[in-house]
Amino acid sequence: MAKEITRRILWADDEIDLLKPHIRFLEQKGYVVTPVPSGGEALAALERERYDVLLIDEMMPGMGGLETLDALKSKEITVPVILITKSEEETLMEEAIGKRITDYLIKPVNPSQVFLACKRVFDSQKLQDSQRARDYVGEMQRWQQLDVRRLDWRGWVDLSVDVARWDVGLDGAPEAGLQAAHNDFRRGLNPDFARFIEEHYPAWVQGAAKRAKIDRPLLSTDVIEHAVVPHLKAGKRVNLIVIDCMRLDQWFTLEPLLEDWFDVHRDYYCSILPTATPYSRNAIFSGLLPAQMWKQHPDLWQETTGDERTRNRFERQFLELQLARLGVTLDKGLKYLKIYDADEAVATRRQINSFSGLSLVAMVFNFIDILAHGRSESDILKELAPDEAAFRAVTKAWFTHSPLYEILQALSQQDCITVITTDHGAVLGKRAALVHGNRDTSSNLRYKYGVNLNTDPKQAIIVRKPMDYLLPDDGVNKNYVIAREDYYFVYPTRFHEFERQFKGSFQHGGVSVEEMVLPIVTLTPKAPRA
C-alpha cells in the first residue's frame, strides 16, 4: 500500500498568533503547517523550500497578499494559493483571480473552512494526476494504432509535435511508469523515422535545389523566405533569433513564458543533413544547400577547416545574398549579431532599443549548443542535466535568467515582428557505432565525411554519392556517414574509451526526430508601442 504523502502548508498572516486553533486543527488532520507573519517571509520560505499550498492574508503591512503574488510570478515560483480577505469587492476578486489564485476565503474563517479549502487543492491535484494518466494512455493507444511506415512528412511532424508536448507534460509527474513508457515510445520512433528520411530526403533536396514544386516539408533553406521575407516585404520591422541546438520539447518549455506579451504562431520545418551547425545554420542564412554553397560561393563555404566560429563566420554575407536574390531591399539597414557568452548577451540587451530603426536584426544565441557540447566534458553539467527532462529544466532556468528573456520583453513593447527558430536539435547518444576511415576523416560524433568511410548501414545512412544529398563532392571517393537513431561514431582503435566518454551525451549531426523536426515561431506583440 502506497504511503500517504504529508502535505505542507505555508500560512502568511500578520495576525498569525490569533490563528493557532486553526493551525492545530490542520495539524490534527495530518498536515504540516509553517506560519510566517508577512508576505516577505513567505516569499523567502518558498525560495528555500517546497510547499504544497500557500495560505496568504490579502491585507498585511509591507508586502500584502497581491504584492506577494506578483513577486512569486516574477521569480517563477509556482505554488497553489488560497487568498484570505476581508473584502468581497468584485474588482478585488477579479484582480486576485487574474493573478491565478487557486481559491479564496472571506474573513472571518473557521478551521473547517480552511481545512476544506486546502483539501480541495490537494484532491484537485490528485484528480489532475489521474486525468493526465488517463489522457496519456488514450493518446498512447492512438499512437499505437498509427502505421508509422505509412506516415507522410505531415504525419511525422504532427506526431513529433504531440510527442514533444507530452515530453513536457509528463515532466515532474508522479507516474514514473508513464514517463518510462513515453521515453521508450519516443526512442522507438527513430528507426522508422530514419528509414523515412533515407527514402524521401534526396528527392526533397533535389526539388528544393531546382525550386521545383514537389510535396515536401519546409527545409532549413526555406526558413527566411517563409517566415521573415513576407514581413519585410509588408514593411514590418523583423527580429530573427536563432537559438542554436534548441529541440522542439525545449521550445515548449519556453513558450508559456512569452504568452503574456506575444501572440504566438508556430510552424515547423525539417533540418537539412547533416544536422550540424556548419550545414544547417549556413543553409538558413544562405537559403542554399551545402553543395550549392560550395559551388556558388567557394569563398564563403568552409567545410573542412577551423572550429564552428570559422565555418559559420559568413552568415551575414549569406543573409545579404539571400535577401538580394529574393528581391528584398532593406531601406533601414541590417544588424547581425552572434552571441557566444553572457557579456555579449548583456551588451546586446543594452543596445536593443537602439536597433528599433533597423529593418532587420538577426541574432544567434549559442548557449544551448555550448551546454550540449560541454556536458560530455563536465561532471557538473552531467549531474545538472542527466536526461532530457533535466536538460529541459536547465534550458528553462537559463532562459528565465538570461538577457535573451529581457530582450524579448523589450521587443514586446516595440512595433515589430520577432521570429524565433533553431538550426538543429540534439539527441541523447546511447549506443556506439564502429566507423572505419583514414586519418583525414572528420571528427564529428553523429556524422563524418572522408574517403571510403564504412560503418554498419543499420546504424547509419551511408551516402556514397554526396550530390544525391546535395553535399559537397570535392574529393575522389569522398562519402558521408550519418548516424541513425541514438548511435554515435567511435573508431576501433579507442572504442571503449570513447564509448564511455560520450555515452549519455547530447549530440547532433545525425538523423532523429529530436534533431530534425524543429519550430519556427512568429511572435507579434500584444500591445506594441507606436
- CATH, residue 340: 3.40.720.10
C-alpha cell read off for 43 = 516569499
Q: What is the pLDDT of residues 434-464, one digit of tens each?
A: 999 887 778 889 999 999 899 999 999 999 9
Residues 418 and 491 in one domain: no
Quote the DSSP letter at residue 297: -
d(CA 176, CA 179): 5
Q: What is the pLDDT of residues 149-207, one digit of tens each?
A: 899 999 999 999 999 999 998 887 766 678 888 989 999 999 999 999 999 999 999 99
Residues 389 and 501 in one domain: no
* End residue of a domain, out of 124, 153, 179: 124
Average pLDDT over residues 311-323: 92
How would residue 482 be classed by pLDDT, with cut points 50, 70 and 90?
very high
Model pTM score = 0.79
Quote the DSSP letter at residue 466: G
Pairing of strands 478-483, 517-525: unpaired
C-alpha cell read off for 130 = 489521474
Range of the domain at 94: 8-124
* End residue of a domain, out of 80, 102, 124: 124
Percent above pLDDT 90 for the chain? 58
d(CA 246, CA 333): 28
Residues 441 and 388 in one domain: no
More confident residue, 445 or 384: 445
- CATH, residue 106: 3.40.50.2300
**pLDDT value at residue 498:** 81
Residues 355 and 494 in one domain: no
Residues 230 and 102 in one domain: no
Q: What is the pLDDT of residues 200-253, one digit of tens each?
A: 999 999 999 988 889 999 999 999 999 999 999 999 999 999 999 999 999 999
Residues 364 and 464 in one domain: no
Residues 288 and 361 in one domain: yes
Residue 57 lies in a domain: yes
CA torsion through residues 402, 405, 407, 409, sign:
negative
Residue 320 lies in a domain: yes
* Orientation angle between helical segments 388-400 and 403-411, nearest 10 degrees: 60
* End residue of a domain, out of 94, 124, 154: 124
